[in-house]
Amino acid sequence: MSIELNQDNFQNEVLDSKDTLLIDFWGPQCKPCMALMPAVDRIEKEYAGMLRVAKVSSVGNRMFCAKLRVLGLPIFLFYKCGVEVNRLTGEGITEKDLIEAIQKVIT
Per-residue model confidence (pLDDT) at position 45: 97
Whether residue 79 is predicted with pLDDT greater than 90 in this model: the reply is yes
Per-residue model confidence (pLDDT) at position 107: 85
Residues 91-98, mean pLDDT to the nearest whole number:
95
Per the structure, the complete domain to which residue 45 belongs is given by: 3-106
Average pLDDT, the chain: 95
The whole-angstrom separation of Cα 20 and Cα 41 is: 16
% of the chain at pLDDT higher than 70: 100
pTM, two decimals, is 0.94
Per-residue model confidence (pLDDT) at position 39: 96
How many structural domains compose the chain?
Answer: 1
Q: Of 24, 38, 22, which Cα lies nearest the Cα of 85? A: 22
Give the CATH number for residue 80: 3.40.30.10
- Angle made by CA atoms 26, 88, 45, in degrees to the nearest 5: 65
Give the helix ranges, DSSP H, for the chain.
10, 31-46, 62-67, 95-106
